[in-house]
Amino acid sequence: MTPSVEKALKIIRQMGGSIRTAEAIRKGIHPRTLYALRDGGTLNQISRGVYRLAELDVISNPDIVTVASRAPHAVICLISALSFHNLTTQIPHEVSIAIPRDFRIPRIHYPPVAVHKFAPESFEAGIEEHRIDGVTVRIYSPEKTLADCFKFRNKIGMDVVLEALKLYKERRKFNLEGLLKYARICRVEKVMRPYLEATV
């Protein structure tokens, strides 16, 4: 094993086993070394410009991990966030992400992505960070996700929203204060309050 390959593997392991091309170059890994590791089967290319050590376990949530790697500033939202938090029976056919209104839409060819532009206060509120397969994934909390779903109820369907609220009550500690806080931030308190009061 050459010193450059040893150095590259050490850096990639320190980063949790996955790395983007731009990060690799910034940390002193030559693109030629990266491609050699890929061609030799040591690295798997999980998306354009995103590599992961082949020795790691199979990715548990490949679509979310790929999108988070390609668009690290975006936040997983709506049905994709419901699915992550186990609050829906829907199977997402695309990864829903939120970006600030003034951000450029990230170019991701695969998996399919639905991009939603959020106002600054709504975008920043309720973000959780989860490590999934060595990648930091930003996902809205269950309470913020429910408020977002009420906001986008005409797009995702009220049946999906009400099912999520029912599953939230069954599977989580019911945080009325948190739900109302995000309802106010998302400007859906009037819409949400009757459903929350009926649920409590």
Question: What is the side-by-side strand order in the sheet with 50-53?
Answer: 18-20, 50-53, 43-47
Burial of 143 by CB count in 10 Å (0-12 exposed, 13-18 middle, 19+ buried)?
Answer: buried
More confident residue, 55 or 176: 176
**CATH architecture, range 62-199:** 2-Layer Sandwich (3.30)
User: What whole-number distance in Å separates Cα of residue 193 and Cα of residue 198?
Assistant: 8
Which pLDDT belongs to residue 166?
A: 92
Is residue 162 predicted with pLDDT exceeding 90? yes
pTM: 0.71
Q: Give the Cα separation of 37 and 126 in Å (integer).
A: 38
Sorted by where each begins, the domain ranges of the chain are: 3-53, 62-199
Burial 13-25 (b: 16+ CB within 10 A, else e): eebbbbbbbebbe
Strand pairing report for 95-100 and 50-53: unpaired
164, pLDDT greater than 70: yes
pLDDT on residue 77: 95
| Domain 3-53 in CATH 1.10.1740 | no
CB 83 within 8 Å of CB 167: no
> How far out from the chain centre does Cα 150 lie?
19
Residue 142 has pLDDT above 90, yes or no: yes
The fraction of the chain above a pLDDT of 90, given in percent, is 42
65-109 pLDDT, tens digit per residue, is 888 888 889 999 999 999 999 999 888 888 999 999 888 887 777
pLDDT of 148-157, one tens digit each?
A: 999 999 999 9
Pair type for strands 113-118 and 95-100: parallel
**CA-to-CA distance for 132 and 117, rounded, in angstroms?**
24
